[in-house]
Amino acid sequence: MRVYFRYAVKETLSNLWRNRMMTIAAVLTVAVSLSLVGSALLLKQSAAQASSQWQQGTRVTIWMEPTASAGEIANVQTQLHNLPIVKHCQFRTQAQDYVEMKKTLPPSEANVLHEDQIPTKFSCVPTVPLDAFTVQSTFMHQPGILTVTAPEQQIREMNHVIRILQIVFLALALVLLLSATVLILNTIRMAIFARRREVSVMKLVGATNWFIRIPYITEGFIQGLLGSAVAIAAVTALHIWYPLHNEFQLSTSALIGTNIVVLIVGVVIGSVGSSIAIRRFLDV
């Protein structure tokens, strides 16, 4: 067993060195594709986390027409009060909003507006964040209401964009993973070809199939492993040095989980590539 171990290690390393250019190409392709996979996974988790955080503080704002009558305002207020999906509401008068607006806007802009141009509004918190949309659709076209805004909409749009990004990332990653597998396959094929004399002698004197195969399988395995190591470094670097907005920031455990997936995929690619090469080109 020890004899074989030494032999397999020696063979694997010399094969890797002999085909170093192909090995580098294969490793880099694995690395790039797995970096994409890792980033897509991180993005997905960040998006999920951010949208759940945003939803915590979801508020629906019902803007009344500046010209809305007291009756219309009272009507909306009663409805809001009776709606079970609304937790509580706060009515802001024109005067309150005007004061707040004067604080937030620069004087040059604030002076253009008059108090009676500012719409009054109800700022409501729904019981469940997802109900914001229902509240919005209920009040949207009622008399005296200017518009109803819910952050839910932005979250949805944002999630939509993120989902498209993810699909693009994963599709790219899939294509690259495929080419990485083919590259590994080709590297192994070249290694087998370079050793065909040895292989034929080994078969002749009765070396077992696995004895002949294992160095090539470990070669592919190591290429996958090296590729995923580079990808893990890239994903970790992305996580540390290029943090997205705070709400996107993930915990270390999420990063570790992503890296484990990257590692497994890399190792699987390497093994699959070399197994195919062995089945097709090493007929023992």
Q: Which is nearer to other proteins, 7 or 249 (CB)?
A: 7
The Cβ of residue 79 has, within 10 Å, a number of other Cβ atoms equal to: 15
- For other proteins (CB under 8 A), the number of binding residues is 17
Radius of gyration of the chain (CA): 31
Both tokens of 108, joined, read: 């040059």
User: Considering only residues 90-109, where is the footprint of other proteins by CB under 8 A?
Assistant: none
> Letter for the amino acid at 102?
K
Beta strands in the chain (DSSP E): 60-64, 86-92, 121-126, 145-149
Q: Which is nearer to other proteins, 153 or 208 (CB)?
A: 208
Under 8 Å between Cβ of 132 and 86: no
- HEC string for 106-123: CHHHHCCCCHHHCCCEEE
Q: How far is the CB of 256 from other proteins (least distance, A)?
A: 40
Q: How far is the CB of 270 from other proteins (least distance, A)?
A: 24
Q: What are phi and psi of 21, to 5 degrees?
A: -65, -45
Q: Which is nearer to other proteins, 3 or 240 (CB)?
A: 3
User: Considering only residues 136-175, where is the footprint of other proteins by CB under 8 A?
Assistant: none
Q: How far is the CB of 271 from other proteins (least distance, A)?
A: 21
Q: How far is the CB of 277 from other proteins (least distance, A)?
A: 19
Q: Which is nearer to other proteins, 10 or 160 (CB)?
A: 10
Alpha-carbon span 14 to 157, nearest angstrom? 53
Under 8 Å between Cβ of 221 and 262: no
User: Considering only residues 1-20, where is the footprint of other proteins by CB under 8 A?
Assistant: 3-4, 7
Alpha-carbon span 224 to 218, nearest angstrom? 10
Q: Which is nearer to other proteins, 7 or 260 (CB)?
A: 7
User: Considering only residues 175-234, where is the footprint of other proteins by CB under 8 A?
Assistant: 197-198, 200-209, 211-212
Q: Which is nearer to other proteins, 4 or 81 (CB)?
A: 4
From the DSSP assignment, how many helices (H) and strands (E) are in the chain?
A: 10, 4
Q: Is 87 helix (H, G, I), strand (E, B) or coil?
A: strand
Q: How far is the CB of 202 from other proteins (least distance, A)?
A: 5
Alpha-carbon span 227 to 23, nearest angstrom? 10
Q: How far is the CB of 201 from other proteins (least distance, A)?
A: 6
Q: Which is nearer to other proteins, 177 or 212 (CB)?
A: 212
Q: Which is nearer to other proteins, 204 or 240 (CB)?
A: 204
Surface-to-core class of residue 61, CB atoms within 10 Å of its CB (0-12 exposed, 13-18 middle, 19+ buried): middle
The Cβ of residue 235 has, within 10 Å, a number of other Cβ atoms equal to: 24
Q: How far is the CB of 266 from other proteins (least distance, A)?
A: 30
Q: How far is the CB of 206 from other proteins (least distance, A)?
A: 4
**Site residues, other proteins (CB under 8 A):** 3-4, 7, 197-198, 200-209, 211-212
